[in-house]
Amino acid sequence: MQPDDGRKFNDEEVALIIKRAAELQQTEQAEQQPGHTLSLAEIEQIAKEAGIDPRMIRRAAQGIDHHTESIRPNPWVGAPTSPKR
């Protein structure tokens, strides 16, 4: 079922629609172009065009770097460990 073209969406719905569209596009591109990558500057430009503050993109990218570092297996334990805080 197609949404009515005259329907208005609230902020939460807009965010969900954009998130889902990005997920669909990413999946489609991954199928068509395996190994395709974007630089942080390219991601910031895309976000800017979508009305997203590039500073938020940089913060999110930092979070990804920290997340991947924190889930690496500890060779002594054989499983990921949490860093000391």
Quick one: pLDDT at residue 38?
83
Pairing mode, strands 73-74 and 79-80: antiparallel
pLDDT in tens, 10-59: 988 988 888 888 888 878 877 787 777 888 998 898 888 888 898 999 99
Cα-Cα-Cα-Cα dihedral of 42, 25, 64, 79, to 10°? -150
* Letter string b/e over residues 11-20, b meaning 16 or more CB atoms within 10 A of that residue's CB: eeeeeeeeee
> 65 lies in a domain?
yes
pTM over 0.85? The answer is no
Number of domains the chain is built from: 1
Radius of gyration of the chain, Cα coordinates, nearest whole angstrom: 18
pLDDT over threshold 90, residue 64: no
> 56 lies in a domain?
yes
> 66 lies in a domain?
yes
Range of the domain at 56: 36-85
